[in-house]
C-alpha cells in the first residue's frame, strides 16, 4: 500500500477526448494506492492517460479499449523499448516531406482564404489544406517505411498528436467549427511522443471488455465506460466514440474508406454499425437502461479483487440504479465526487448524501469497490 505523501502525479500525454480522465488522475492514483494492487486493468483506456499514469507509478498495466486509436497509443507508451534518439531522424524525415494532395485533403481540407468560414462546397472542414497535404504525404510515407508495429505506433501517435494541435473542432469529429480555429492556421509539426520505459512488462489489447475480463488476471480493474462527457459542448448521452473519432481510425488504417454525411464519416462508423452497449441510451423491455444493465454484468463478471469505477452525472444510470448495482457487487470502500463547475471534491458517506442530492451535469464520481 502506498502512503498518501508518496503519490506523485506523473506527466501523461494525449489527444482531446470526450471523457478523458486527465483531471481525475490524482484521485484515481490516490484510490489505487489504497489497495495492495500490483497489476491493473485499464478496461476502457481511451487516450491511455490513466494507463500511462499507472505505468509510471510502478504498476503493471493491462491497457484495453475497443478503439483502434487507443491500441496505437497503448503500443506507443507502454510497449516501446527504443530510445528517443531512435525516432529523431524518422520524425525529421516526415516533417520535411513535400506535401501532396491526396485522400485526406480531398475530404477534410479547407482553404483559409476567408477568415469567415471553414466551408468548402457547403461543407465545414476540420483542417486547413496546408496541413492535410502534409498529412497525405506523411501517412503514405509511414506505410512505406515498413516498420514494426510498435515503431509505427510511435509515429502514428506523433502524427495524431500533431493534428490534434491544428484542428478546427471542439474536440471530436462528428461536426466541425463554422469558422477556422486560431490553431488551424499553425503548421503541422510532428514531435517525438513523450515515451518512457518502466521495469514492468505491460500488455495492450484492442477488444470488447467482455472478451477481456474472462482471461484477465489483474488485482485491480479500473473501469471508465462511455457514459458521459464532462465537456458542456458534448451532449453526455450521445457520445459515440467510433463516430466522434472516425478520422483517427482512417489515419491509422489508411484505408481511404467510403464516407458519408456532412462530417464525411467512415461508413463503418455509422450508429447502426458501430456502437457499444455502454453507449446505448435506450431502456430494455423491463424499463431498465441497457447501459446500466451492461455495467451490472461487467462488475459482476470481473474477477479482480478491487474495482475503481468512474461515473459521470450525465450518465444513464441514476444514483439509485448505481447504488443497487454496486451493493450487489461488493463493499464500497470509497466514494469521491468531483464537481468541475464549483471545482470542489468531496468524499462522503455516499448512500445518503448522493442519492438525496440533485446532481449537477458537471460531476464525476469515483468508487472503490472490494469484490465480495
Ligand X SMILES: C[S@@+](CC[C@H](N)C(=O)[O-])C[C@H]1O[C@@H](n2cnc3c(N)ncnc32)[C@H](O)[C@@H]1O
Give the integer Cα–Cα distance in Å for 73 and 77: 6
For ligand X, the closer of residues 41 and 188 by Cβ is 41
Helix (H, G, I), strand (E, B) or coil at 183: helix
Provide the mask over 14-53, with x wherever binding to ligand X is found by CB under 6 A and - wherever it is not: ---x-xxx----------------------xxxx-xx---
Radius of gyration, alpha carbons of the chain: 21
One of 208, 232, 255, 327 touching ligand X (CB under 6 A): 208
Q: Are 343 and 351 in contact (CB under 8 A)?
A: no
One of 41, 55, 61, 209 touching ligand X (CB under 6 A): 209
Beta bridge partners of 127: 109
Give the integer Cα–Cα distance in Å for 131 and 108: 10
Q: Are 192 and 158 in contact (CB under 8 A)?
A: yes
First to last CA, the chain: 20
**332, exposed or middle or buried, with CB in 10 Å at 0-12, 13-18, 19+?**
middle
Q: Are 310 and 224 in contact (CB under 8 A)?
A: yes
Instruction: Assess 224 for contact with ligand X (CB under 6 A).
Output: yes
The minimum distance between CB 25 and ligand X, in angstroms, equals 8
Give the integer Cα–Cα distance in Å for 39 and 272: 36
Instruction: Assess 206 for contact with ligand X (CB under 6 A).
Output: no
For ligand X, the closer of residues 50 and 91 by Cβ is 50
Instruction: Assess 278 for contact with ligand X (CB under 6 A).
Output: yes
The minimum distance between CB 71 and ligand X, in angstroms, equals 10
Provide the mask over 67-106, with x wherever binding to ligand X is found by CB under 6 A and - wherever it is not: x--x------------------------------------
Instruction: Assess 66 for contact with ligand X (CB under 6 A).
Output: yes
Q: Are 53 and 12 in contact (CB under 8 A)?
A: yes
The minimum distance between CB 139 and ligand X, in angstroms, equals 22
For ligand X, the closer of residues 64 and 131 by Cβ is 64
One of 126, 193, 226, 236 touching ligand X (CB under 6 A): 226
* Interface ranges with ligand X (CB under 6 A): 17, 19-21, 44-47, 49-50, 65-67, 70, 208-209, 224-226, 241, 276, 278
Amino acid at each position: 500500500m502506498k502512503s498518501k505523501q508518496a503519490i506523485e502525479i506523473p506527466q501523461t500525454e494525449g489527444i482531446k477526448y470526450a471523457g478523458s480522465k486527465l483531471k481525475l488522475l490524482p484521485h484515481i492514483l490516490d484510490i489505487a494506492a489504497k489497495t495492495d494492487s500490483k497489476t491493473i486493468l485499464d478496461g476502457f483506456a481511451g487516450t491511455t492517460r490513466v494507463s500511462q499514469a499507472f505505468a509510471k507509478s510502478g504498476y503493471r498495466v493491462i491497457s484495453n479499449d475497443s478503439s483502434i486509436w487507443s491500441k496505437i497509443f497503448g503500443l506507443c507508451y507502454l510497449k516501446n523499448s527504443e530510445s528517443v534518439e531512435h525516432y529523431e531522424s524518422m520524425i525529421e524525415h516526415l516533417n520535411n516531406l513535400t506535401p501532396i494532395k491526396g485522400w485526406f485533403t480531398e475530404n477534410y481540407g479547407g482553404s483559409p482564404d476567408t477568415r469567415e468560414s471553414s466551408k468548402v462546397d457547403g461543407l465545414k472542414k476540420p483542417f486547413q489544406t496546408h496541413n492535410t497535404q502534409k498529412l497525405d504525404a506523411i501517412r503514405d510515407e509511414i506505410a512505406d517505411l515498413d516498420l514494426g508495429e510498435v515503431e509505427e505506433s510511435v509515429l502514428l501517435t506523433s502524427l495524431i498528436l500533431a493534428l490534434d494541435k491544428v484542428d478546427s473542432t471542439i474536440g471530436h469529429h462528428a461536426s466541425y467549427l463554422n469558422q477556422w480555429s486560431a490553431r488551424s492556421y499553425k503548421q503541422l509539426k510532428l514531435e517525438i511522443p513523450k515515451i518512457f520505459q518502466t521495469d514492468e512488462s505491460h500488455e495492450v489489447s484492442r477488444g470488447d471488455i467482455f472478451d477481456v475480463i474472462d482471461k484477465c488476471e489483474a488485482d485491480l480493474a479500473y473501469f471508465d465506460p462511455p457514459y458521459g462527457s464532462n465537456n458542456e459542448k458534448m451532449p453526455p448521452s450521445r457520445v459515440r466514440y467510433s463516430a466522434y473519432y472516425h478520422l483517427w481510425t482512417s489515419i491509422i488504417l489508411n484505408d481511404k474508406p467510403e464516407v458519408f454525411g456532412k462530417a464525411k464519416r467512415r461508413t463503418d462508423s455509422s450508429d447502426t454499425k458501430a456502437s457499444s452497449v455502454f453507449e446505448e441510451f435506450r431502456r430494455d423491455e423491463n424499463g431498465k437502461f441497457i447501459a446500466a444493465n451492461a455495467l451490472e454484468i461487467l462488475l459482476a463478471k470481473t474477477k479482480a479483487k478491487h474495482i475503481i469505477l468512474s461515473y459521470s452525472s450525465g450518465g444513464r444510470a441514476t444514483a439509485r440504479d448505481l447504488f443497487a448495482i454496486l451493493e450487489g457487487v461488493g463493499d464500497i470502500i470509497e466514494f469521491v465526487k468531483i464537481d468541475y463547475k464549483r471545482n470542489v471534491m468531496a468524499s462522503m458517506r455516499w448512500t445518503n448524501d448522493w442519492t438525496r442530492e440533485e446532481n449537477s451535469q458537471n460531476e464525476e464520481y469515483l468508487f472503490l469497490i472490494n469484490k465480495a
